[in-house]
Structure 1
């Protein structure tokens, strides 16, 4: 866990529990207005199952040990042709946009530890694009939308074979 940021209470990051599912629905609905409650409950139940070596799940952040969840990040273990096993985080949803960097800073060590536990050699974290310009350079077909940037973090100095 990173040191506390002045003016912020410390954030606790943990895996999604069954009690979090309903509490997180307003956060999920804010990010994905089209997601129905029943669909989220199904996803949440599947992601909250505690397994020894989970292949996918959700991490939850809250201020202190008794606060309500204020952010969540999805993760899954994937295969990469260069790195082998990688931990991929597609969605990081934060209740208060002003806290986004503070929350991401808290998620990073938790994701790193999880990646190590799962035998991953790297992490892929997808971040929403902060601002789009009218001259955005795209390296994809014109009908595709660039919605996120990809950050790659190598775990324990692992580098792919040359």
Structure 2
């Protein structure tokens, strides 16, 4: 399996119950599929805070990791969409970037995520994630990170 600037990856992130989380471990995990490739890959997300400076509340975001194998890990960041910037019901609830290298300024893919609920009881909430090539300017990708804790959801969980 490999990733490049034309890769398309789809998957889901489910919240790990608090009693099953490890200290400093992820708060969400799930399975992902690279279009055109066989096999699933594991994804995980950790809640992080970004300091926005004096007098401003920190921004909450998800630090995201996909692990193709023990030696190949890729990272990104997922931010909640500011509700005032959500222009349509089908617009993503989350957005971010996914780095294809560890180098600053290296190639990135776009992350979009939507809040969903499972079809069967107990209708477990999850985030449906799409990772793909960035869209051209003006195609709805000018979203900026929300700087409000409320945008992340009750209890600090992303869904």
TM-score (norm: length of structure 2): 0.33
- In terms of fraction of residues, the more helix-rich structure is 1
Structure index of larger Rg = 1
- In terms of fraction of residues, the more strand-rich structure is 2
